């Protein structure tokens, strides 16, 4: 006889475990220790009696438990053990967590930080985490394509952070190389992605004096110098003249003793 939700809700726990049977091997176990209801599938595989956990009621509904039972029975028909398949899937999920970009980047960073000064190590991790791992970190590193890395660095570039974009790209290339060396990936998909894909920061040129205006400028400067000589106290030479005649930058002149 098939189970019903009403039966599951109305059956009270006792001082002993209670088993309620559904169809095709599905059973509900009401634990005496905590009163919770666990769905279980009893089945035979290779002449051995086995039990497969299918969830806890009501988080797993009766319908969901039946669907899971039917899927397990299909595996048995294919010659596969549902319990072993579930364990393999769980292990694959755990392995996948260890090979996300964030996990691999953390392993690379821990390997390198002992060779760096603490301040530099913190700066590298913060830069990588804030600019790349927040968007790509949960992805398996083997699934990340070059265009995703390029787009991530271009997003940084779009903020005007040109130097950060280049450094993040450099960091990611090193992380991927670490993954390849440690057999996490077969090849480095971004090994050929260089900073050439990024724009160069346009530098602003300082104002300059055209050659044909230089004679007039020097005459005016000489006139100004004449006024300074008669000042109190008199000044022998201006910073501008020193810069011109010594070919030294203005900062060096102003800080000269």
3 state DSSP class of 257:
coil
The pLDDT assigned to 191 comes to 80
Per residue in 10-54, pLDDT (tens digit) is 999 999 999 999 999 999 999 999 999 999 999 999 999 999 999
Domain end residue (candidates: 34, 60, 95): 95
Tell me, yes or no, whether 190 and 236 share the same domain. no
The pLDDT assigned to 233 comes to 54
Cβ count near 171 (within 10 Å): 19
Within-domain flag for 106: yes
Per residue in 83-122, pLDDT (tens digit) is 999 988 887 776 777 889 999 999 999 999 999 999 999 9
Mean pLDDT, range 154-170, rounded to an integer: 92
Per residue in 166-176, pLDDT (tens digit) is 999 999 999 99
Tell me, yes or no, whether 170 and 123 share the same domain. yes
Within-domain flag for 69: yes
Total residue length of the chain: 257
Tell me, yes or no, whether 85 and 135 share the same domain. no
Burial class (CB within 10 angstroms; exposed 0-12, middle 13-18, buried 19+) of 257 = exposed
Tell me, yes or no, whether 115 and 29 share the same domain. no
Task: Report how many domains make up the chain.
Answer: 3
Flag whether pLDDT at 205 surpasses 60.
Answer: yes
Within-domain flag for 190: yes
Tell me, yes or no, whether 87 and 105 share the same domain. no
Q: What is the β-pairing status of strands 18-21 and 37-45? A: unpaired
Q: What is the CATH number of the domain that holds 140?
A: 1.10.150.130
Cα separations in angstroms, 128 against 55, 133, 156, 169, 244:
39, 6, 11, 9, 45
Q: What is the CATH number of the domain that holds 50?
A: 3.30.160.390
The pLDDT assigned to 132 comes to 95
| Dihedral angle, C-alpha 104, 105, 109, 111, nearest 10 ° | 20
CB of 68 within 8 A of CB of 108? no
Domain span at residue 83 reads 5-95
Tell me, yes or no, whether 166 and 180 share the same domain. yes
Within-domain flag for 212: no
CB of 143 within 8 A of CB of 184? no
Domain end residue (candidates: 95, 130, 154): 95
Q: Residues with Cβ < 8 Å from 171, sequence gap 6 or more?
A: 105, 124, 127, 128, 132
Is 0.85 topped by the overall pTM? no
Within-domain flag for 167: yes
The pLDDT assigned to 124 comes to 96
The pLDDT assigned to 186 comes to 87
Domain end residue (candidates: 62, 95, 128): 95
The two structure tokens encoding residue 192: 């050929």
Flag whether pLDDT at 76 surpasses 70.
Answer: yes
Within-domain flag for 74: yes
Within-domain flag for 205: no
- Least trusted range by pLDDT, from 87-91, 106-110, 206-210, 247-251: 247-251
């Amino acid at each position: 006889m098939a189970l019903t939700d009403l039966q599951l809700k109305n059956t009270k726990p006792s001082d002993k475990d209670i088993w309620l049977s559904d169809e095709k091997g599905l059973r509900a176990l009401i634990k005496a220790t905590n009163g919770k209801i666990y769905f279980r599938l009893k089945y035979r595989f290779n002449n051995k009696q086995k039990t497969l956990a299918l969830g806890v009621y009501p988080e797993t509904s009766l319908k969901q438990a039946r669907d899971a039972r039917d899927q397990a029975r299909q595996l048995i028909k294919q010659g596969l053990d549902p319990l072993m398949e579930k364990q393999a899937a769980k292990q694959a999920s755990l392995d996948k967590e260890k090979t996300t970009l964030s996990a691999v980047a953390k392993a690379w960073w821990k390997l390198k930080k002992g060779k760096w000064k603490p301040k530099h190590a913190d700066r590298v991790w913060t830069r990588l985490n804030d600019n790349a791992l927040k968007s790509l970190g949960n992805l398996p590193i083997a699934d990340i394509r070059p265009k995703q890395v390029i787009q991530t660095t271009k997003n940084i570039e779009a903020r005007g952070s040109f130097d950060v974009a280049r450094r993040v790209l450099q960091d990611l290339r090193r992380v991927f190389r670490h993954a390849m060396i440690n057999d996490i990936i077969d090849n480095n998909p971004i090994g050929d992605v260089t900073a050439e894909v990024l724009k160069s920061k346009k530098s602003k040129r300082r104002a300059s004096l055209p050659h044909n205006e230089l004679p007039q400028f020097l005459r005016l400067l000489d006139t100004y110098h004449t006024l300074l000589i008669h000042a109190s106290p008199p000044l022998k030479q201006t910073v501008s003249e020193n810069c011109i005649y010594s070919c030294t930058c203005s900062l060096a002149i102003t800080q000269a003793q």
